[in-house]
Every structure is written in structure tokens, then in C-alpha cells.
Amino acid sequence: MNTNITTKKFDIVIIGDITEDTIVIGEKVSTRPGGAVLYGSIPIARIVNVAVITKLAQKDSYLLHEMKKAGVSVFSIPSTKTTEFENIYPDPNNLDERIQRVKSITEPFKVQDIPKIKAKAIHVAPLTTGVINLSIIKNLAKRARFISLEVQGFIRKPKSDGSTVSVNWLKKREILSYVDILKTDRIEAEFLTKKENIREASQILASYGPQEILITSSKGLLVYAHGKFFKAPFTPRRVRGRTGRGDTCIAGYLAQRITSSPEKATRFAARLTSLKLETPGPLKYPHI
């Protein structure tokens, strides 16, 4: 990748590791690309000018094809390894219950990996701890109006057997001082704040710096923005695509938020996520 180019401008940039996912639903096994960069970028590619910055082994470059086909600008950084996940859903009728194992992790991002880009919003979405650090976030904060961050990649740590465990977030306050929009789910919010009530949890998280907090659950999206709460339900006709729910939600929020209010962005994100829940794999070419 040649970074000695004229600065490119985008509406939204998503940075994180793409994955090769093995998905097990009951007795059905499938393999496909995954990760926040994929599940976030494809649904909004027809709505805004979106790019991803990702890192993977050259032999796995086929994982990028789906994003490129959808019109996403892809900046690929070479690594000796590609992130690989296994997502197991024991009960096909309950896709909120998931067992996750990490089989491989890409090399950490470095500041020199970042191409010459600017954006209205940059979403930071690694999948496990150690992939993106404070130096990267400081660098990205100079390039965007909004810095958005996904919690899971800063508290989800792989164990030696491939299972994951939630750990204390190192440098949480320092990192969040650079963040405008924070995305988490109900379980992660409770882990970080020790509050079961997600409204209380969102207010605590906002006290660390971000002025807009998104918390997803199986029922819908709660947003706490600049002292006000906004809420919108997820209304899928049926649930066939649980993997990537949160990534689609924050991407939809950002796609609307760069031009609209938090209230409108909340409603738009919930509608987009409802369509995603009906769709295995990334949501393509939504009409909403």
C-alpha cells in the first residue's frame, strides 16, 4: 500500500480487522468474511462515501472482495496473520445466545499503517484487545469531526484455548477523552459501569468523555446524546442474521449523524438494524 498520495476524503471510515468467520447454527456450518469493517461498511455504501482500513495476510485477500464489490474503498495493510473467529449458536431459535472462539489474530495496527485520509466520522472497531492502541486513536482524532469507538475490541481478550474473557479496559479514560461517540451493548455496558440499568450506565460512560452513547440490546437501541435519551426498537419480521447487528447499527447511526440530529440518527440506525437482523451476512443495498 502506498500512503504517499494526496489526502483522500470520505464521509465515514471504519478501521479494524476483517475476519474469516466460521458460523455454526445448530448443525449447520458455514464460512464467510466478517468483522466490523465488513458488517458496518456494506450496508451504508450506497448511502455515503465509505472506506475501511484493515489488516490481513495477503493470502486471504479474497475476504475483501465483498466490500469492494459493494463500492467500499478498501485500504489493506499486510500482516502475517488474519483474524479468524468461530461463532457458535447452539439454539437456532435463539441467536442472542452465542459461543465465540478466536482462532487467530492479526498483527496490531501501527501509526505508519494509517493512509492519508480525512473523514466526517471515523469508527474504531478492533475485535480484540491489543489490535488498536491509544497512539492510533490520537492520530485518527486529527482526521475527523467525529471519532466513534466500539467497546468490545478494548475489553474482549482471547484466552489460550480460544475462548474470550472481558477484562479491565486499560487507559479507558485517556482513550475516551478522544472519543465523541461510544458504541456498546447492554452486557458490555453493565460490565464497564456495574449498572444493570442501561440509562444509568450510559450516563456514567458519558462522564468519561464521549457525548453520545449507543447501547444495543435484543429489543432495540438506546442513545444518550448531550444529556437527552432517544430510543428506537428493532422490529425484524424474523431473525436470521444476528452476527453483525451492532456493527450495522453504529454504521447506520454515523451515516445519518454526519448530517442529522442524534434523534433522527437513532431512528435510522434502528430501521437499518431491523433489516440486518432479517439477513444472514452483511445487509446489502437497503431501501429504507
- Confidence bin at 137 (pLDDT 50/70/90): very high
What pLDDT was estimated at residue 1? 46
Give the residue-averaged pLDDT of 52-76.
Answer: 97
Query: Looking at 99-103, 195-199, 226-230, 249-253, which range is the least confident one?
Result: 99-103
CB neighbour list of residue 23: distance below 8 Å, 6 or more residues apart: 29, 30, 31, 32, 87, 89, 243
What pLDDT was estimated at residue 2? 44
Has residue 65 got a pLDDT over 70?
Answer: yes
Q: Residue 125 CB: number of other CB atoms within 10 A? A: 29
Give the residue-averaged pLDDT of 115-126.
Answer: 97
One-letter amino acid of 74: V
Has residue 223 got a pLDDT over 80?
Answer: yes
Read off the pTM. 0.94
The more confident residue out of 44 and 94 is 44
Q: Residue 242 CB: number of other CB atoms within 10 A? A: 21
- Confidence bin at 77 (pLDDT 50/70/90): very high
Q: State the fold for domain 8-277.
A: UDP-N-acetylmuramoyl-L-alanine:D-glutamate ligase (3.40.1190)
What pLDDT was estimated at residue 113? 95
Give the residue-averaged pLDDT of 105-126.
Answer: 97
Closest CA to 272 of 244, 262, 261: 244
Cα–chain-centroid distance for residue 150? 5
Domain segments of the chain: what residues? 8-277
What pLDDT was estimated at residue 5? 59
Give the residue-averaged pLDDT of 26-34.
Answer: 89
Length of the chain (residues): 288
Q: Report the first-to-last Cα separation within the chain, whole angstroms.
A: 36
Cα(46)–Cα(71) distance, integer angstroms: 8
Percent of the chain exceeding pLDDT 90 equals 84
Give the residue-averaged pLDDT of 71-86.
Answer: 97
The per-residue pLDDT for range 163-191, each reduced to its tens digit, is 999 999 989 999 999 999 999 999 999 99
Phi/psi for 158 (5° steps) reads -75, 140
Has residue 244 got a pLDDT over 50?
Answer: yes
